[in-house]
Structure 1
Amino acid sequence: MRVFVTGSTGFIGSAVVRELQEAGHQVLGLVRSDANASALAETGAEVHRGSLDDLDSLRAGAAATDGVIHTAFNHDFTDIAAAAATDLAAVEAIGEVLVGSGRPLVIASGVGALHKGRPSVETDVADSTEPMARRMQSEVALLALAERGVRTSAVRLPPSVHGEGDHGLVPRLIQIARDKGVSAHPGDGENRWSAVHRLDAARLFRLALENSPAGRVYHAIGDQGVPVRDIADAIGRHLGLPVTSVARGDEAVRHFGWLGAFFGNDVQSSSALTQQWLGWRPTGVGLLADLEQGHYFKAL
């Protein structure tokens, strides 16, 4: 299968590209810069120049391939509404090309806005009052395309997709600890974050592309819930810093910035249905074991 991959040189997208190639698929990867074009070409994938803002480039990439995996997202959490609007427009543009074709379209989504108080499951829908729920608009639009002849599926990702080269939320927490001189957690730190190794996530994207029926939602979850206090403890130990609690609310926002509210959320998730439906099993190390390997704490 010839597959169009957005975010093809990103942390998750590059793992998806490698996963697809190892399974015998050809990849057409979306890139913006010359540097990323060179990096992608070195993998043996074909380069497609464009961006999420260039809807014509997205349509052209989708039209030239047998299926699409959409992993690109502007992770500007200071303006999640704008990032979500860009993502929605991208999904709709790609979907327009695939209507009536029966070809697969797999997108990245998230579990951050799902029900709290228990592990979220694949059949849950987002709390519309959550700021993070804005990203879920793309998932809603995607599932509507299932009624129009597109074999759609969404892979919901946890707060931490970890592994060497991670530049997401956990590295941000590490940098905050370095800057502040303490490794902190909100309140008692008993709220939990789900997590997955990026290679496990990449394999799930491939399985969804190859085997998913239309309209399915999957959870890329390895760790169902890691107490955030344990994350803070690991960071403090590796950096030789004290571990402390900060009050939730305004104090957490002052300490962590935009990450303050989200780090205090309980984001437990289950992948039981995903494992049943696709035969996917997470095999990579868990988040805490990954932190113990030390690569997160190499000098910048």
Structure 2
Amino acid sequence: MRLLVLGAGGFIGRTTIREATAAGWQAVGLVRNDEAALRVLEAGGTPHRFSTGDPATWAEAARGADAVVDLIQPSLPGRMTLRAVRRISAARQETTAGVLRALCSLPAGERPLLVSVSGMDDLDPGPGRTVSHTSALRTVPVGFAHIGLPVRRMIEESGTPAVHVYLGNMVYGPGKGFGDLIVPGLARRRMPVPGTGRNRLPIIHVEDAARALAHVAGLSGAAGRTFVATDGTTTTLGELFDETARLLGASAPLRLPRWLAGPFAGEIAAQTLTLDTAADPSALMATGFEPRYPSFREGVPATLAAVAGTTGAAETGAAR
């Protein structure tokens, strides 16, 4: 089984390479620079340099592969304003167009399954405020749905065989937003909870997100299906931040009024973090998937241990 991962040098991408390799996949990481290539090698995969705008740089690598996981994401600014998200959405659509050109350049029988990855904001929770594999797409975008909804429409219009996986509104772990920003902010009491903190926030540990993507990529008959990948709990934003701060030995974070959260983090980020939504991952669980970290109570301690280990290693290297 051969799996290609677009954006393999990123937070979720390199973890997907590592987890897919551990599960028996021959994992190829499509990367755009030497630094990302090194991350793929360290994760146990094979790096392949490519350009999304030039299908010839990777179409042959995709020929006959079982699946391609698309984790390409433009760089995000510190404040996610509406103007910023529209700019990112345009860049993401351009990238997706390149991915689809590469896949459609292959004969139909040699095209891999496209595993399209997005966030919970794309799905309409309905009156019960719960999203699942049966949820309709939102008609009016909120949060990061400004990016995800146009991308899904492009994939559907292309006719490319695809399965759609929706990760939690926060993928946490050692790195990116949680490990690199939220954890240090909570440790210094400089990371407030936007809003009351009582809103339910669908979350998933990065290792489980990666495992879910590799699992879905290997499912028979996955094309055309939708899966929600979260830990299935009704964790609130306040619970996640408060417990993380407690484990760090820090004071409980302050609550920032919702009307101030927009100017602080950007309106789009504030919308995503303060949405009150539950998630139902039963369709994914029914395929035999089980999370390694069934809740943040197991996932956050593992994350903090990994962050501490990384910091310690960096300090030791600096001392030498």
TM-score by length of 2: 0.78
Matched, 1:107 2:116: yes
Superposed structure 1 runs of 4+ greater than 6 Å apart? none
Specify the SS of the correspondent of 1:4: strand
Cα deviation, 1:222-248, whole Å, max 9, x if unaligned, reads 143311111231244326234322221
* CA pair 96-33 structure 1, distance change in 2 beyond 3 A: same
The RMSD of aligned alpha carbons is 2.9
Specify the SS of the correspondent of 2:108: coil
Q: Which residue, out of 267, 270, 276, partners 2:277?
A: 267
Specify the SS of the correspondent of 1:191: coil
* CA pair 114-172 structure 1, distance change in 2 beyond 3 A: farther
For residues 36-51 of structure 1, what are the structure 2 equivalents within 5 Å? Answer: 36-51=36-51
For residues 149-188 of structure 1, what are the structure 2 equivalents within 5 Å? Answer: 150-163=160-173, 165-169=174-178, 171-177=180-186, 181-188=189-196
1:85 alignment counterpart: 93
2:71 alignment counterpart: 71
1:216 alignment counterpart: 225
Question: What CA distance in whole angstroms lies between the structure 2 residues aligned with 1:260 and 1:172?
Answer: 15
2:234 alignment counterpart: 225
| Count, aligned residues | 293
Q: Which one has the bigger strand percentage? A: 1
> Quick one: which amino acid aligns to residue 215 of structure 2?
L
Question: What CA distance in whole angstroms lies between the structure 2 residues aligned with 1:24 and 1:235?
Answer: 33
Matched, 1:247 2:257: yes
1:141 alignment counterpart: 154
Question: What CA distance in whole angstroms lies between the structure 1 residues aligned with 2:219 and 2:265?
Answer: 41
> Quick one: which amino acid aligns to residue 101 of structure 2?
A
Cα deviation, 1:75-117, whole Å, max 9, x if unaligned, reads 5253332343234324422431356226322121221232245
* CA pair 261-25 structure 1, distance change in 2 beyond 3 A: closer
Structure 2's unaligned 5+ residue stretches are: 315-320
8 Å contact from structure 2 (residues 66, 112) kept in 1: yes
2:300 alignment counterpart: 291
Cα deviation, 1:268-288, whole Å, max 9, x if unaligned, reads 211012222x22122325224
8 Å contact from structure 1 (residues 19, 203) kept in 2: yes
Identity of aligned residues (%): 24
Q: Which residue, out of 91, 100, 121, partners 2:132?
A: 121
TM-score by length of 1: 0.83
* CA pair 84-153 structure 1, distance change in 2 beyond 3 A: same
Question: What CA distance in whole angstroms lies between the structure 2 residues aligned with 1:22 and 1:170?
Answer: 23
